């Protein structure tokens, strides 16, 4: 190829501009067409967050059911909360099944609000009673109970 119209100087200037503007870059780790043709694995990767989000959503629903009535004392809220819990539990039964059973280690004993040595649903009323304590942070306490009930 014979280059009549461009001096070497101008070409070097273009080369410098190309370098500055990303015209040269490191090698890609994979071929673009392979990356684009990975919907299955990409989907699996993108769905990974659900494994975290679903238990959190379920825990939040449980918290709403148990804490909501105590906070609002409204029957309509209680009914709707039960519906939310039922729907959440039925939809994510498998996810919740993965949750470990409640144990009675020292952390769990802190959640034993009624002092019967077991962390179970009976602690909820005791927890709600404790919520009347104006010095405690109700949100933090609700979060703790939620963790206890889910065994996480």
Give the residue among 99, 103, 62, 105 at the shortest CA–CA distance from 82: 62
Among residues 14, 46, 86, 103, the one that binds other proteins under rule CB under 8 A: 14
The least distance separating other proteins from the CB of residue 4, rounded to whole angstroms, comes to 5
Q: Which two tokens stand for residue 24?
A: 């040269």
Give the residue among 42, 89, 94 at the shortest CA–CA distance from 65: 89
- Residue 69 CA from chain centroid, whole number: 25
Window contacting other proteins (CB under 8 A); options: 17-25, 93-101, 112-120, 127-135:
17-25
Q: Which two tokens stand for residue 15?
A: 């080369």
Contacts of 108 (CB under 8 A, 6+ apart): 102, 119, 148
Interface residues for other proteins in 24-83 (CB under 8 A)? 24-25, 27-28, 31-33, 35-36
Nearer to other proteins, 22 or 115 (CB): 22
The least distance separating other proteins from the CB of residue 30, rounded to whole angstroms, comes to 10
Task: Summarize as ranges the residues that interact with other proteins (CB under 8 A).
Answer: 1-4, 6-9, 11-16, 18-25, 27-28, 31-33, 35-36
């Amino acid at each position: 190829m014979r280059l009549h119209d461009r001096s070497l100087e101008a070409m070097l200037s273009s080369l410098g501009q190309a370098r500055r503007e990303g015209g040269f870059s490191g090698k890609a780790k994979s071929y673009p067409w392979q990356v684009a043709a990975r919907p299955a694995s990409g989907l699996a990767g993108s769905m990974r967050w659900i494994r975290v989000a679903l238990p959190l959503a379920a825990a939040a629903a449980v918290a709403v059911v148990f804490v909501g009535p105590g906070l609002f004392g409204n029957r309509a809220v209680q009914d709707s909360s039960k519906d939310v819990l039922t729907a959440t539990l039925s939809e994510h039964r498998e996810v919740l099944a993965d949750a470990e059973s409640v144990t009675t280690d020292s952390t769990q004993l802190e959640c034993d609000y009624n002092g019967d040595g077991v962390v179970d649903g009976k602690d909820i009323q005791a927890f709600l009673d404790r919520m009347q304590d104006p010095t405690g942070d109700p949100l933090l306490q609700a979060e703790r109970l939620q963790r206890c009930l889910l065994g996480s």
